[in-house]
């Protein structure tokens, strides 16, 4: 009974937040809805006796991955008032085709699996020990290859984003090397020039008979 209530609530939240992801015009709201979806899925994992998977889902996907999404959107994304941009027609068509394909596939999966007896699993199913045994035992090669793949992606990202200083031209002078007159000297000269109606005589200037310099 309690499980049924949790299942209905979590599934409803998952569907509503999934709709929120695609229907919201604001990328920040979409990303927030996606977080809600991932958390609702974690609740469903809990019902499937996968405590570890549920916690990992929240830490990795709802936590680490999505916070990066939100971070970038908050930095670069528009405000709530930004108008929705029109999409090209082929994008709509492709999205529809992909959606229909997923629905058909899920339909087949449900028809084959869902209405039979529930799978029988042992107590240890989904425990950290069982997951560790499959990651670091049977599938150790795949697991390590995946981490190398992620490392390559990270290094690639750093390389692409790394700030390379522009090559220095021959004879270029850095801003620090240019000697300028002290700021108060030039300021004083300007102020004195601008505000006095009298002739300004600077040291080194010679005044001729007519009063012209």
Partner 1 sequence: MPDGFILTFVKAFVLANLVMGVFAFLTWLERRLLGRFQVRLGPNRVGPFGLLQPIADLVKLIRKESILPEGISPVLYIAAPALSLFASLAVFAVIPFGEEATIPGTDWKIFLFISNPSVALLVVFALGSISFYGFLVGGWSSSSKYSLYGSMRAVSQLISYEVSLALAVIGVVMMAQSLSLTGIAEAQDRDGLWYIIPQFLGFVVYVVASTAEVSRIPFDLPEAEGELVAGYHTEYGGMRFAMFQNAEYVALIAFSAVASILFFGGYEGPWLPGPLWMLIKMTFFILIAMWVRATLPRIRYDKLMSIGWKVLLPAATLNLLVTSAIVAWRA
- Per rule CB under 8 A, is residue 39 in the interface with partner 1? yes
Nearest C-alpha neighbor of 49 from the set 138, 106, 131: 131
- Provide the mask over 120-139, with x wherever binding to partner 1 is found by CB under 8 A and - wherever it is not: -------xx-----------
Instruction: Judge whether 76 and 92 are in contact, CB under 8 Å.
Output: no
Distance in angstroms (rounded) separating the CA atoms of residues 154 and 150: 6
Here the tokens at position 183 are 């700021």
Q: Binding of partner 1 at residue 74 (CB under 8 A)? A: yes
Q: What number of chain residues touch partner 1 (CB under 8 A)? A: 25
By CB under 8 A, is residue 2 in contact with partner 1?
Answer: yes
Stretch that binds partner 1, among 70-78, 109-117, 139-147, 194-202 (CB under 8 A): 70-78
> CB-wise, 78 or 107, nearer to partner 1?
78
From the number of C-beta atoms within 10 Å of its C-beta (0-12, 13-18, 19+), residue 116 rates as: exposed
C-alpha pair distances (Å), 154 with each of 122, 161, 163, 164, 190: 38, 11, 16, 18, 55
User: Would you count residue 67 as binding partner 1 (CB under 8 A)?
Assistant: yes
Cβ proximity of 52 and 125 under 8 Å:
no
Under the criterion CB under 8 A, does residue 62 sit at the interface with partner 1?
A: yes
80 binds partner 1 (CB under 8 A): yes
Pick the closer one to partner 1 by CB: 18 or 56.
56
* Phi, psi dihedrals of residue 83, rounded to the nearest 5°: -70, 150
- Cα 10 off chain centre by: 26
Residue with tokens 């790394």: 162
CB of 151 to partner 1, least distance (A): 15
Name which of 10 and 58 has its Cβ closer to partner 1.
Answer: 58
Region near partner 1 per CB under 8 A, out of 62-70, 105-113, 166-174, 189-197? 62-70
Contact positions vs partner 1 (CB under 8 A): 1-2, 28, 32, 35, 39, 42, 51-52, 55-56, 58-59, 62-64, 67, 70-71, 74-75, 79-80, 127-128
């Amino acid at each position: 009974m309690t499980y049924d209530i949790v299942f209905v609530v979590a599934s409803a939240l998952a569907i509503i937040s999934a709709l929120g992801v695609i229907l919201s015009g604001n990328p920040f709201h979409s990303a927030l809805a996606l977080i809600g979806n991932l958390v609702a899925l974690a609740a469903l994992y809990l019902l499937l006796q996968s405590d570890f998977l549920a916690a990992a889902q929240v830490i990795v996907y709802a936590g680490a991955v999505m916070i990066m999404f939100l971070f970038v959107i908050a930095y670069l994304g528009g405000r709530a008032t930004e108008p929705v941009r029109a999409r090209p027609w082929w994008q709509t068509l492709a999205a529809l085709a992909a959606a229909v394909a997923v629905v058909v596939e899920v339909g087949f999966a449900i028809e084959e699996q869902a209405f039979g007896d529930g799978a029988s699993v042992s107590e240890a199913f989904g425990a950290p020990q069982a997951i560790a045994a499959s990651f670091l035992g049977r599938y150790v090669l795949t697991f390590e290859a995946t981490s190398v793949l992620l490392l390559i992606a990270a290094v690639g990202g750093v390389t692409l984003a790394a700030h390379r200083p522009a090559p220095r031209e021959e004879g270029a002078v850095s801003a620090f090397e240019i000697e300028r007159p002290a700021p108060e000297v030039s300021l004083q000269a300007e102020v004195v020039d601008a505000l006095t109606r009298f002739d300004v005589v600077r040291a080194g200037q010679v005044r001729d008979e007519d009063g012209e310099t």
